[in-house]
Amino acid sequence: MESELKEMLASLERTGYCQWMKSEGVPIVEGFSVEDVRELELSPWRRLGGSGAFVHLYGMEGQTGMYVAEIPPGGSLNPERHLYEEMICILAGHGATEIWQEGGEKRLFEWGPFSLFAPPLNSWHRLVNGGREPVRLMAVTTAPIAMDFYRNPEFIFNCPFNFTDRFHGEENFFTTSQKFYAVGLQSIWETNFIPDAKEVKVRDDLYVKGTEVGMVQFETSKNGLIGHVADWPTGLYHKAHYHGGGAVIVILKSEGYTLLWPKESGTQPYATGRGEEVVELRWREGSVLSPPGGWFHQHFNIGKEAARQLALRFGSRLFPIGLHQAAKKKTDGVYISVKQGGTMIEYEDEDVEIRRRFEANLKRLGTPLRMAP
């Protein structure tokens, strides 16, 4: 199955985004996942400043892009603005971001490890390392869509239009909001700044993704590109589900693995003789993965602490994106059983081999099973 995904990735070579990535002169990392994004080898990045690399995983499918950058102590990235959305997660270090609209007053906010924020569309921004250690960050963007349609980096990085409907220089724009509410099967948090994604409080009474899987979805900077944090105890695992491409998952805590298989392999791939089509990805803190569109995927915590994931993806409730909505089949489709027209496999309908392998992994590590029979 991976050979087909490699062919898909190769078919993107002539797109505007892939051509632009190559022109930037930094490494491009491909595959299902990255074992630890904090350890990626980077090279000097003339346009951005600092050093960096692109991450181009199978599951991004030309919908989202990702890069990793490092800022030396006392240094900064170059000021930039662009006509694509971007979500930035600080992986290590402390510093600040200056942000402003063309002709407007500069605003400044500080951040630290696992802070999360999104520069509003086409606003000028500059990241500064305020500490004595290097700052490493990752960003997920909608650059592939912009680059493929406009095919003109000069326009994308130098358009003078100010999107004042998204940001008009508010002094308190990047403060942490307390605006939480529930919509359908989701817990929503509207905030433009998350100080530490490792410490975000998840809603623990809407276990729509599995036993004791708490979750909160955040809406930020009036973007269509948003995200969620999911948290679940050791000895437990998610229900399998699928959706469209473009989602990027970052592991914040614990260790475990994810099983992935194309939906064409069915809800019970081992039982039907298609077990060789199931891919297993091992993960730990710092791992990054991106499930291909239309592939079931299921996350298993076998570590000694609660697992925590940060997912950066489409799916805004406030500003929905059509390609994401259609892939879910229906509103909240990823939380609804395939038997009811959704894209999730309930525990009682999953392949028995999945539970057997999970129990064997737990036994090997001496971790107790907490799943119901």
Strand, helix or coil for residue 351: coil
Query: Rounded CA gap, 312 and 287, in Å?
Result: 14
Domain stops at, among 101, 126, 158 = 158
CB-based contacts of 116: which residues, under 8 Å, 6+ apart?
87, 88, 89, 90, 193, 194, 197, 218, 220, 227, 310
Residues 21 and 154 in one domain: yes
Sign of CA dihedral 235, 239, 242, 243: negative
Residues 183 and 315 in one domain: yes
Residues 208 and 344 in one domain: yes
Flag whether 168 is in a domain.
Answer: no
Hey, what amino acid is at 2? E
Strand partners, 253: 308
Residues 224 and 349 in one domain: yes
Q: Are strands 248-253 and 307-314 parallel, antiparallel or unpaired?
A: antiparallel
Residues 198 and 275 in one domain: yes
Flag whether 170 is in a domain.
Answer: no
Flag whether 166 is in a domain.
Answer: no
| C-alpha distances out from residue 271 to 92, 275, 350, 353, Å | 44, 8, 10, 8
Strand, helix or coil for residue 195: coil
Task: Write out the DSSP string of 70-109.
Answer: EE-TT-BPPPB--SS-EEEEEEE--EEEEEE-TTS--EEE
Residues 189 and 112 in one domain: no
CB-based contacts of 313: which residues, under 8 Å, 6+ apart?
64, 225, 226, 227, 228, 246, 247, 248, 324
User: Which among 217, 179, 170, 181 is positioned nearest to 197, based on CA atoms?
Assistant: 217
CB-based contacts of 15: which residues, under 8 Å, 6+ apart?
62, 144, 147, 148
Flag whether 165 is in a domain.
Answer: no
Q: What is the CATH number of the domain that holds 251?
A: 2.60.120.10
Flag whether 167 is in a domain.
Answer: no
Strand partners, 57: 31
Residues 215 and 270 in one domain: yes
Flag whether 17 is in a domain.
Answer: yes
Residues 110 and 193 in one domain: no
pLDDT score for 332: 78
Residue with tokens 């999104």, as numbered in its chain:
118
User: Which among 48, 77, 82 is positioned nearest to 157, based on CA atoms?
Assistant: 82
Query: Rounded CA gap, 301 and 1, in Å?
Result: 25
Domain hosting 320: range is 179-365
Query: Rounded CA gap, 307 and 285, in Å?
Result: 9
Domain stops at, among 158, 190, 220 = 158
pLDDT score for 329: 63
Residues 93 and 200 in one domain: no
Flag whether 370 is in a domain.
Answer: no
Structurally, how many domains does the chain consist of? 2
Residues 137 and 184 in one domain: no
**pTM for the structure as a whole:** 0.95
pLDDT score for 21: 98
Flag whether 221 is in a domain.
Answer: yes
pLDDT tens, per residue, the chain with 373 residues: 788 888 988 899 999 999 999 999 999 999 999 999 999 999 999 999 999 999 999 999 999 999 999 999 999 999 999 999 999 999 999 999 999 999 999 999 999 999 999 999 999 999 999 999 999 999 999 999 999 999 999 999 999 999 999 999 999 999 999 999 988 888 999 999 999 999 998 977 777 889 999 999 999 999 999 999 999 999 999 999 999 999 999 999 999 999 999 999 999 999 999 999 999 999 999 999 999 999 999 999 999 999 999 999 998 989 988 876 676 666 778 889 999 999 999 999 999 999 999 999 999 999 999 999 8
Residue with tokens 């599995």, as numbered in its chain:
210
Residue with tokens 């990823």, as numbered in its chain:
334
Residues 111 and 235 in one domain: no
Residues 92 and 241 in one domain: no
